[in-house]
Amino acid sequence: MSFEKLGIEPRILDILKKAGFEKPTLIQKECIPLIKEGKDVIAQSETGSGKTLAFAIPIIEKVEHGKGVQALVVTPTRELANQIMKEFVKLTDYRMAEVASVYGGVPIESQIQALKTASIVVGTPGRLLDHLERRTINLSHVKYLVLDEADRMLDMGFIDDVERIIRHTSRQRQTMLFSATMPGPVFRISQRYMEKPVSIETERHVKPELLHQIYYDVQENEKFSLFVHLLQHEKPKLALVFCGRRHTADAVAKNLQIQGIDAKVIHGGLEQNKRERIIGETHAGQVQVLIATDVASRGLDIKGITHVFNYDVPEKRDDYIHRVGRTARAGKSGLAITILSDGDYDNFRRILRENPEMNIVAGERPDFRRIPFNPHAGRERREGHQGQRYGQRSSGYGRGGHEGHRGGSHGGYRSPSGHSRSESRGRRY
C-alpha cells in the first residue's frame, strides 16, 4: 500500500516523498485511516515502528492556525519530545501551524514565548504541569490528545501527572494512546478517558529468528575486562550498551576511552545540548559505542544497531525486551549480549522465569586479559550539577558492574539456573 491510498493531502505526500518515505509501515497503515475518521485509538507498537508519523500526519491535516493549542502529545522523556517535535516540523513546512516542545532541563522562558502562538505542543508531564500551574498554557481547546510511550510514563511514576493533564483538556477531544505493553494502570486510563477506542496491535518489530541472545557469567571484578574483549572481538558497527545507573554509564564510558575505545554516554544527568549533540552524532554514524540508561534511551529511534549489551541486567522483564529489541530490525540479524555478575543474578532469573520461551544461550568463557577498572572515572563530569542524582528512580538494579568491589573468587557461587558455574555452560533457556 502507498501513502496515496491512505487519503493523505497532496502537499504532505510531497514532503514524505522528499524525505524518502516510500510506503507506510504497518502501524501507519492501521492508524492513519482511523485517526482521520476521528476515532479514539489504542495502539501497541514499539520504538522504531513509525508511530510518530501515524499520529502526526492526520493531526497536521486537522489543526488550524490561530486557534490556540489544539493538539497535545504527552511523552516521557525530553529526547522523545524533541524527536517528535522535529517530525511535526518537517510536515508543517507548507502551513502556519506552529509546534512547541516543552520539557525540563532547559530555561522555561523561551517555551513560554513559543506557547503563545503554538497550535501543537509536545511535552513531558512534569514541565507541562509546570506550565499549567504558571497559567502559561491553555489546554481547554485541545481536540487531539496523544499519550505516547504510556507504559514508560507509568514506569517513571508519571501516570498521576498524566491524568491531571488529561483533566485540563476538552472532553470533546480525540485521544490516541501508544504503548509497547498494556499494564493495568495504562488500561484503566484508556477505560476512563477514551470513547469506544479501536485497538491495534502490530506484530513485533523484531523477528525472533534474527535476534541471537547470549549471556556470559563472570566474577564481578572481571566484568569490564570481558566487556572490552567482546567489543574488540565482535567489532560492532553500532553497539548500544545499557547500564542501570548514571554513574555506572559514566564510569564505563570513561574506562573505555582510557582503553582507546571512542565511547559516548547519554543519560538524564547531561545537559540538553550535549544529549542532542550525541544523538545527532549517533544518527550521523559517528558513534560506534553508545552507553545509555533505560530512561535516556527510551523512544530514541536509532537505526543500524548491530549489538546490544546489557552491562547491567534490568529489574523488569519489559525493560529487557525493550533493550534487546533495539537490534535485529529491518530484516537484519542482531546480537544481544548480557554480562552477568553477582548483582545481576536475581533480576536475570526473574526475566527467565517470566519468559520461559526466551532462547538465551550461555556463552563459553573466552580467554581475555585483565584490565583495571576505576568505578569513579567519569564522576567529575557529574560534579557541579546541583540537584542531580547518580541513580535513577528505580533502585532495583544490580551494583552496576563496579569492578574491584570484591576481588578474588566467590565461594559457594551458583549460576542463574541454580547450577554450579561449570554445570551452567552450554545450557539453553
Both 245 and 163 in one domain: the answer is no
Both 192 and 267 in one domain: the answer is no
- Asked if residue 419 belongs to a domain, the reply is yes
Pairwise CA distance, residues 286 & 278, whole Å: 9
Both 312 and 370 in one domain: the answer is yes
The share of the chain scoring above pLDDT 70, in percent, equals: 84
Q: Of 151, 182, 201, which residue is a domain's last? A: 201
Q: Please give the C-alpha separations between residue 30 and each of 45, 180, 221, in angstroms, as whole numbers.
A: 11, 16, 50
Both 173 and 236 in one domain: the answer is no
Both 232 and 280 in one domain: the answer is yes
Instruction: Encode pLDDT of 90-120 as tens digits.
Output: 888 766 679 999 999 889 999 999 999 999 9
CA angle 88, 134, 68 (to 5 degrees): 40
Q: Which of 128, 73, 48 is nearest to 297 (CA)?
A: 48
Q: Please give the C-alpha separations between residue 68 and each of 127, 148, 176, 217, in angstroms, as whole numbers.
A: 19, 22, 20, 57
Instruction: Encode pLDDT of 39-95 as tens digits.
Output: 999 998 766 678 999 999 999 999 998 899 999 999 998 888 998 999 999 888 766
> Whole-model pTM?
0.68
- Asked if residue 390 belongs to a domain, the reply is no
Please report, for the domain that includes residue 380, its CATH number: 3.40.50.300
Pairwise CA distance, residues 357 & 192, whole Å: 34
Strands across the sheet containing 334-340: 263-266, 289-292, 239-242, 307-310, 334-340, 211-217, 360-362
Tally of domains within the chain: 2
SS3 track for 329-398: CCCCCEEEEEEECHHHHHHHHHHHHHCCCCCEEECCCCCCCCCCCCCCCCHHHCCCCCCCCCCCCCCCCC
Helix, strand or coil, per DSSP, at residue 202: coil
Both 187 and 276 in one domain: the answer is no
Both 171 and 228 in one domain: the answer is no
**Cell representation of residue 419:** 547450577
Q: Which domain holds residue 121?
A: 4-201
Q: Of 165, 184, 201, which residue is a domain's last? A: 201
Both 217 and 121 in one domain: the answer is no
Instruction: Encode pLDDT of 337-357 as tens digits.
Output: 999 999 999 999 999 998 888
